[in-house]
Structure 1
């Protein structure tokens, strides 16, 4: 059974596409969910975060994401320290989920926002990129997260450019229109995927 790597830029609509693919029967393994599990309340991962970042790293028993986010966003050393705690755990959680789904005979979607940035494309059979032009990405991110243009642009710049992701994708799902148009694009991509794989 094939494994799809689903990625895109921030505010490109990847989560929406992920949900639509679930509706077609794909098993979705979500990196964001796995990263929350890796540092869930009471976990070894969270204890390690406290050891490295101090007591302020936790609020109400959970990781204080806004605080940690501010700490690591402009500090490569702190970001590397956080990644060294989270990434190995995330990989393990996702690998177990993927193996279980494949053993059940299901096609798998690995929903990984930083798939290219973390050089994970070799771990999947094909890469699908949810694409929106950067000006639209900026507009949607500002609206969704109530951000200034400067802050939103900085977040976008911290990822690989969306045009680069589009150029490297096996399948591009354009999300520059409305939801109905996106649903049509996803339907077409799924139909073509089954045509490619069911015949073999």
Structure 2
């Protein structure tokens, strides 16, 4: 079984993914895979240079800040970039799954619902947290300005919209409560796996 894990920026997806790992569940992080493939795939490198020009790479290393600055206010350009990255990540994930032997795996992706990726999952989990807390976490994590954070949030669906599609919702305010929610959902997923 594939269980999708998603949530807006600063919601604490990585923390939740870590709790699933502690329970012995393999976790695939789509964002990390995308970054790795941008570094290692010559095909992706060529496509990105075609899209953004030579400045998109310095040798074999993608110029992430440059690429991000190009796509931030240009939804069409962002879609074009996603058309390069997402199929490569999907193939990479499918190869990875074949090597796993657990009852289920976690597929963590920031825009699982926006891209329709949840349709390929058996179940999905949405991680939420109050907006104020999310902004504080992001300011601590990568020293972004409130305006930059707001821009990134505006590019993602609202939690209300996502929660309509999610099978489980984790409210990530208190670490111990979050861990308990993960353990509860883990039990529910194992039950669902037995019944399917």
Instruction: Give TM-score scaled by structure 2 length.
Output: 0.90
Q: State the partner residue of 1:79.
A: 78
Given that 2:135 and 2:146 are in contact with CA atoms closer than 8 Å, whether structure 1 keeps it comes out as yes
Q: State the partner residue of 2:186.
A: 190
Q: Name the CA distance, whole Å, in 2 between partners of 1:166 and 1:136.
A: 19
Q: Deviations over 1:54-73 (max 9, x none)?
A: 22111352111111000111
Q: Name the CA distance, whole Å, in 1 between partners of 2:132 and 2:121.
A: 29
Structure 2 residue runs without a partner (length 5+): none
Q: Name the CA distance, whole Å, in 1 between partners of 2:188 and 2:80.
A: 41
Q: Secondary structure at the match of 2:144?
A: coil
Q: State the partner residue of 2:99.
A: 100
1:168–1:50 distance in 2 versus 1, CA, 3 Å: same
Q: Secondary structure at the match of 1:4?
A: strand
Aligned-pair CA distance for 1:31: 0.6
Cα RMSD of the aligned pairs, angstroms, is 1.9
Q: Name the CA distance, whole Å, in 2 between partners of 1:85 and 1:196.
A: 34
Structure 1 residue runs without a partner (length 5+): none
Given that 2:126 and 2:168 are in contact with CA atoms closer than 8 Å, whether structure 1 keeps it comes out as yes
Q: Secondary structure at the match of 1:168?
A: coil
Instruction: Give TM-score scaled by structure 1 length.
Output: 0.88
Q: How many residues align?
A: 196
